[in-house]
Amino acid sequence: MSEPILTLEGIGKAFGPVQVLNDISLSVMPGEVLGILGENGAGKSTLLKIISGIYTPTVGTIHLNGQIFSALDPITARFHGVAMIPQEFNLIPTLRVYENVFLGQEVRRHGFLDHAGMRKRTQELLSSLEVDLDPELPIERLSVAQKQMVEVARVLVNDARLLILDEPTTVLTDREVAVLFRVVRALVAKGVTILFISHKLKEVKDLCDRLLILRDGQQVELCETATLNEEDMARKMVGRELSQIYPEKLAQSTDNTPPALRVRGLSLKGKLKDINLEVRRGEVLGFAGLVGAGRTEIAETIMGLHRKEQGEIFIDGELVDLRSPNEAHAHGLAYLSEDRQGKGLILSFNVMQNITALSLKRYVRGFIKHRAERRQAEHYQQRLTIKASNLAAPVSLLSGGNQQKVYFSKLLDIEPDILILDEPTRGIDISAKQQIYRLIRDLTEQNKAVIVISSELEEVIGIADRVLVIREGQIAVELNGDDINEEQIMLYAAGARQHANREQVGN
């Protein structure tokens, strides 16, 4: 058999005192597809960045193409045929397909661009991938899947021998995934090695020869794909105790309380189909699912940010028609967006102005009562321990955790009854997280209804009394009690388990 193209020996990586990767050893052969599985934060992207030369490993050696390195840099990695297709494409929307394929590596003749040559070469590459795409089309007119193919063609110009695909299928439809897989197999037949990262267990099982499973930076498993079934994979990815950062859950079920918010048959064109859910006062309802499954869309549609196609929304049993966030706020709903800086806070505004952004009416008697605003901001500063030296300074100067607390204060200041919290602890440190979990429980103890949307399984499990798993714009399952565990959520979120109809599991 031939030599491995890439061998890692005892690779480890630490950021300061934090060990993110530990003793990773593996080798991959030309023409092999290696799947890499792991939860968010398991160390997948760190490993990929080491292979593509972006990060320097703390310990260990890399054998690439028969040469030994203690660290790679992006240029050396690229020279030896390592290429990566990122989740976010780096294409220029206004340029044509062939111009993008050769961007930064343009072919010249007598000093001028050789358009004909580049067009021809692009056509050849695309047809070798069996993709029917006109090299003359501008990128902005392509679908996501076609853009991905342009990225593939781009790395092939460099004669890539080791191709890293980072969650390539999250943005694709089933049919497009099939095309991608055909392309991947064509590349493999040419002897290209593929590192394939995905959350979707079924795809990994279909495509990969071998599997590397990471958990907390450790190599848990490196084996032939055929030896594991999907449930084994999910179990190996997880298998960890939840630490005590979550407050106690509800002692008794709230089943008998009437729902504060009830959604019937909610649909949003191309995004959501027939969403039914209810959330009661005093409970935390979790939304789990993969990124792009439609969880945020459910929240934003309820808030009147998208025009719903169908469906009814009841608040405390009363049918309401919410066509703007304003109307939603008036009915006691509040939404914390996952995009704190893009949709949540005005970074140039100060702490006070941000906190009263929704509730400003209450501070107006003819004119805005700036002193009342300040008093209220001081109240939240104390209640949520917001660390800000100056309430009049722009919130852009605060840390992520403190910004998030300001954002929470903004919602709390309209005294909502139903809160929808989208990734409430994204990008904040562990102590701030703990405070926010405590706050969420306090809210339910004040008889408010809370929905928590989270991509961190641990968080959903730790905080939610009930969990809805969302997959491809639909509710895949409702989990209760002991069935709220990582294995179950993963199986439904990744589509390893399906039901013709949604069902309840547990209790």
Partner 1 sequence: MAQPPNTKSMGSVARQGLRRLPLNATILAPLVALILLFVVSSIASEYFLNTRNISNVMRQVSYTGIIAIGMTFVIIAGGIDLSVGSMVALVGVVILYIVNSISDPIQAVLLGLLAAIAAGGLLGLFNGLLVTRGRIAAFVVTLASMSIFRSLALYFTDAAVVSTPNPHFSSVGGGFLLGIPVPVIVFFGLAIIAHVLLFHTPYGRHVCAVGANPQVARYSGIRVERIVLSTFVIAGICVGLSAIMLTSRLNSVSPSDAGYFYELDAIAAVVIGGTALSGGRGSIWGTVIGALILGIINNMLNLTGVSPYLQGLVKGGVILLAVLLQYKRA
Residues that bind partner 1 (CB under 8 A): 305, 324-326, 328-329, 335, 337, 342-349, 353, 357-358, 360-361, 364, 367-368, 370, 385, 387, 389, 392, 410
Nearest residue (CB) to partner 1, 161 versus 331: 331
Phi-psi region of 172 (alpha: psi -120 to 50; beta: other; left: phi over 0): beta
Q: Which is nearer to partner 1, 175 or 371 (CB)?
A: 371
Q: Nearest approach, Cβ of 277 to partner 1 (angstroms)?
A: 22
CB of residue 346 to partner 1, shortest distance in Å: 5
List phi, psi (to 5°) of 476.
-80, -40
Q: Considering the complex, what minimum distance in angstroms separates the CB of residue 387 from partner 1?
A: 6
Q: In this complex, which beta carbon is closest to partner 1, that of residue 70 or of residue 396?
A: 396
CB of 93 to partner 1, least distance (A): 18
* Rounded least distance, CB 336 to partner 1, Å: 10
CA dihedral angle for residue 9, residue 15, residue 16, residue 22, rounded to 10 degrees: -30
Phi/psi region, residue 276 (left: phi>0; alpha: psi -120 to 50; beta: rest), is beta
C-alpha–C-alpha distance, residues 272 and 297, integer Å: 7
**Could you write out the DSSP letters of every residue in 101-170?**
HTTTS--EETTEE-HHHHHHHHHHHHHHTT----TTSBGGGS-HHHHHHHHHHHHHHTT-SEEEEESTTT
Smallest gap from Cβ 89 to partner 1, in A, equals 22
Based on CB atoms, which residue is closest to partner 1, 219 or 409? 409
Continuous H helices in 268-416: 295-302, 325-330, 351-355, 370-383, 400-412
Based on CB atoms, which residue is closest to partner 1, 24 or 414?
414
Of 220 and 347, nearer to partner 1 (C-beta) is 347
Smallest distance, partner 1 to C-beta of residue 368, A: 5
The rounded distance, in Å, linking the Cα atoms of 268 and 26 is: 45
What is the rounded distance in angstroms from the CA atom of residue 307 to the CA atom of residue 304? 7
Count of CB atoms within 10 A of residue 3's CB?
A: 11
DSSP SS3 for 316: coil
Residue number with CB closer to partner 1 (49 or 331): 331
